[in-house]
Chains A and B, each alone.
Chain A
């Protein structure tokens, strides 16, 4: 179940799921969408065109620009699903028009890496 819709929209794509919060500034290459923090569990993976599932955003406030840049460079995820909302990811997705939802703990746990899913914030379904 979608608990809360932060940015509206519809999306389809393959789940890329992380166990670790993301500091978009620093950890993500804004041109390619590749995770470059070698301490991160998505290290060297690309978030481009995925449904990115991660606990929440951390760190620099400029991470919002990274999300906007990813979108401008066609390297953004199609949507993001988080466990907890945060300002940086919310405002970045709002400006870039990337659908963003918060899901219940149960739903979050059940989401599997690599699954193909569609998200519709209107009907609040995955």
Chain B
């Protein structure tokens, strides 16, 4: 990768330790993704905020970094481990809370906006078409490239952090205007699809696709299905972009049919019942909260139900009456955190989680050791609520 004189000198440590570290990361990632240079970016979205995921090593690293580091561009952050307003309702130890607060303070100190959301594309105004950004959260990177018409690598926690600190990122194929034409098309053959089907499709696609993929037979996706597709895809693979397109003569084709769907379902669905319903991962935005509260009017859950949302919608959800409806239905609304790697769901307290989230299912199974029953939202409402 070619560096400018200024970049070279920063890499050598002449501009201080923080920039030396940032350029070391950018150079390694640039090599990894075959970039020939760095380009300016205008928004960085960081992962690595939840103490549950980054642990003591991560907390100490950020605390040290925050003494000197400052972000150079607009920087937003992923969910953390809990909602401070309700954390006392969950049995979380003080050490966890203390360490999480330290991480949150470090991010604020370097100048990040404390958004604590995995759906930055839904809660912030989107910059104009083709703007270069650096999104680490995998569902957000895929959404940015595929739906929001922005340009990002499928960044890692450190490459996005390095981008935030330098305002630059490696110029890979995903960032180029007309390049990266997918050489694989996945033909959606499942009929009567819903957000669960699209989450499974995303997980399937992520497993077999390269850096981008074309999907045919999946037009007019609603936001819920779209987010599920991005979430599923980000969980299983390296793929950073999909194109919804039915014109595909020049590429390899693979069908996603009922059999393939069942295979993925069987990999992620580990029980046929559960005692806790969970929505989120990605977090639910205002549209989905509105849908959910409409579906739940006059109904209530027979089991505990947790809903994960960004803090930015808290006031609006309250003002529009959704919070009230959801509370009456027995839901616990949690802000600033998400299903994915939450410490709030403990295997000792829960027999099984019922959810429509593929991403949530993967991490509940692998990180929380919790069994998961996957169902679409409509079926969860039918099975798990009463009038």
Q: Given that A36-B366, A64-B158 are contacting pairs, would A91 and B47 also be in contact in the complex, using a CB cutoff of 8 Å?
A: no
Which residue of B24, B57, B162, B362 contacts A68 across the interface (Cβ within 8 Å)? B57
Interface residues of B, Cβ cutoff 8 Å to A: 21, 24-25, 27-29, 31-33, 47-48, 50, 53-58, 60-61, 136-138, 141, 153-160, 162, 206, 234-238, 267, 341, 362-363, 366-367
Interface residues of A, Cβ cutoff 8 Å to B: 4-7, 21, 23, 25-27, 30-31, 36-37, 39, 56-66, 68-69, 71-73, 85-95, 100
Q: Is the pair A94, B157 in contact by a Cβ cutoff of 8 Å?
A: no
Chain B nearest CB, measured from A40 CB (Å): 9
> Whole-angstrom distance between the alpha carbons of A59 and B137 in the complex?
10
Q: Is the pair A61, B237 in contact by a Cβ cutoff of 8 Å?
A: no
Task: Tell me if B's interface is mostly helix, strand, loop or mixed.
Answer: helix
Q: Is the pair B363, A26 in contact by a Cβ cutoff of 8 Å?
A: yes
Q: Is the pair A90, B53 in contact by a Cβ cutoff of 8 Å?
A: no
Name B364's closest neighbour in chain A (CB-CB). Answer: A26
Chain A nearest CB, measured from B130 CB (Å): 21
Name B60's closest neighbour in chain A (CB-CB). Answer: A72
Q: Is the pair B363, A65 in contact by a Cβ cutoff of 8 Å?
A: no
Q: Is the pair B25, A94 in contact by a Cβ cutoff of 8 Å?
A: yes
Q: Given that A61-B47, A65-B157 are contacting pairs, would A90 and B32 also be in contact in the complex, using a CB cutoff of 8 Å?
A: yes
Q: Which residues of A contact B155 (CB under 8 A)?
A: 61, 87
Which residue of B32, B47, B53, B54 contacts A86 across the interface (Cβ within 8 Å)? B32
Q: Is the pair A58, B156 in contact by a Cβ cutoff of 8 Å?
A: no
Q: Which residues of A contact B341 (CB under 8 A)?
A: 25-26
> Whole-angstrom distance between the alpha carbons of A97 and B59 in the complex?
18
Q: Is the pair A60, B158 in contact by a Cβ cutoff of 8 Å?
A: no
> Whole-angstrom distance between the alpha carbons of A65 and B31 in the complex?
19
Q: Which residues of B contact A37 (CB under 8 A)?
A: 366
Q: Given that A4-B31, A26-B362, A65-B53 are contacting pairs, would A58 and B236 also be in contact in the complex, using a CB cutoff of 8 Å?
A: yes
Name B46's closest neighbour in chain A (CB-CB). Answer: A61
> Whole-angstrom distance between the alpha carbons of A91 and B33 in the complex?
11
Name A39's closest neighbour in chain B (CB-CB). Answer: B267
Q: Is the pair B58, A69 in contact by a Cβ cutoff of 8 Å?
A: yes
> Whole-angstrom distance between the alpha carbons of A1 and B137 in the complex?
34
> Whole-angstrom distance between the alpha carbons of A91 and B22 in the complex?
10
Q: Is the pair A85, B31 in contact by a Cβ cutoff of 8 Å?
A: yes
Which residue of A58, A65, A85 contacts B48 across the interface (Cβ within 8 Å)? A65
